[in-house]
Amino acid sequence: MKFVDEVSITVRSGKGGPGAVSFRRESMQARGGPDGGDGGRGGSVIFRVNPQLNSLLDYRFKTKYYAEDGQSGGKANMTGHAGQDLILPVPPGTVVKNAETNAVILDLNEPGDYLFLEGGRGGKGNWFFRTSVNQAPEHAQPGEMGHTQQLHLELKLIADVGVIGYPNAGKSTLISAISAAKPKIADYPFTTLTPNLGVVKVDENRTIVVADIPGLVPGAHKGVGLGTQFLRHIERTNLFVHLVDASESGGREAYRDYQDILDELHQYDNAKIKQEGFRPLSSRPQLVVLNKIDAISRDRLEELVQIFKSRGIETMQISAATGKGARELVFEMGNRVSKYREEAAQ
């Protein structure tokens, strides 16, 4: 299924139905007392967070969504039917923004229903306006108008661990090796054009969600390589696995790759730091992992480990392709995530 993580839509709650002007018909009396009923309430706009969804694809092809209007009041003091609510299903992690100001209105993380726009109230019928002075009122209220708003929806994946690194560092291979997710894998950059989520079993009692984030190259914070589209997907993760290609394919240097990605996180932070509630990406815990160790000599691997260590960076070493070291990495990720969850619960 095509992954869509940004859409713009227009929503409107329903208009309340008008009250009725009606009079009882009685024997020997052409017009009895007032009996016009109230109009029905208009339908509301409700966002429903559904954990089974992982894309905003359904909103790509239709951009206008209107709740049903309430029906008119009737005679015999009958209230009109309320308009049907408009239910908008979205995946967890959906951020609802005002399309004009870009201000965040709702940040939808937990499953459930979230009332967004209330429907207009129904107008009062002429029965409501009867008094001892005016026993035959000939007026009723119109229904209250519904509310219209232009919105921009953004999806930010909810994962415990975000796997970051250069294209072709082996992120998709790692996700495939440690989870049931089967992302597209090939030996060229930008194979992955959408984030991949995998549920990883740490042990009998623990699972974690790991996201493979594509598009990180120098200039990603400016949109190079689709970077700005994907960097937001790691805003909710509390631990990064920074995967580095130890084979140094294409003439790149492992430590330079690591530094390039770190620089992009700093640049992204600088652009977002004034945003309320934003937690800088560059300061989050990282597990630096040298991948593709099956493709280099033992001596070269030791050199790379020492290069990182000389700069105060401890590394883990794995081969996602052969599985070597993958289980140890999973346990380390699980322990780090468990520790964070315990601290968050206190």
So what's the pLDDT on residue 158? Answer: 76
Q: What is d(CA 274, CA 318) in angstroms, rounded to the nearest whole number?
A: 38
List C-alpha distances in Å: 205 to 176, 200, 333.
21, 12, 14
**Beta bridge mates, 106:** 96
So what's the pLDDT on residue 189? Answer: 44
- Residues 93, 5 contacting (CB under 8 angstroms): no
Give the CATH architecture of domain 1-155. Distorted Sandwich (2.70)
Portion of the chain with pLDDT greater than 90, in percent: 53
pLDDT in tens, 113-149: 999 999 999 999 999 999 888 988 999 999 999 999 9
Longest dimension (CA), the chain: 110
CA 78: distance to chain centroid?
A: 43
So what's the pLDDT on residue 185? Answer: 44
The domain locations on the chain are 1-155, 161-345
pLDDT in tens, 318-346: 999 999 999 999 999 999 999 988 887 76
Q: How confident is the model at residue 182 (pLDDT cuts 50, 70, 90)?
A: low
Q: Are strands 206-212 and 45-49 parallel, antiparallel or unpaired?
A: unpaired
CATH of domain 161-345: 3.40.50.300
- Residues 113, 9 contacting (CB under 8 angstroms): no
Among 31, 29, 18, 38, which residue's Cα sits nearest to residue 129? 38
Residues whose CB falls within 8 Å of the CB of residue 132, separated by 6 or more in sequence, listed in order: none
List C-alpha distances in Å: 296 to 248, 293, 303.
9, 6, 11
Six-digit token string for 243: 């995967």
DSSP-derived secondary structure for 32-70 = -SB-PPPPPPPPPEEEEE-TT----GGGTS--EEEPPPP
**Beta bridge mates, 23:** 34
Global pTM reads 0.69
Among 66, 84, 83, 51, which residue's Cα sits nearest to residue 9? 66
Residue ranges of alpha helices (H) inside the chain are: 171-178, 227-231, 254-272, 298-309, 326-345
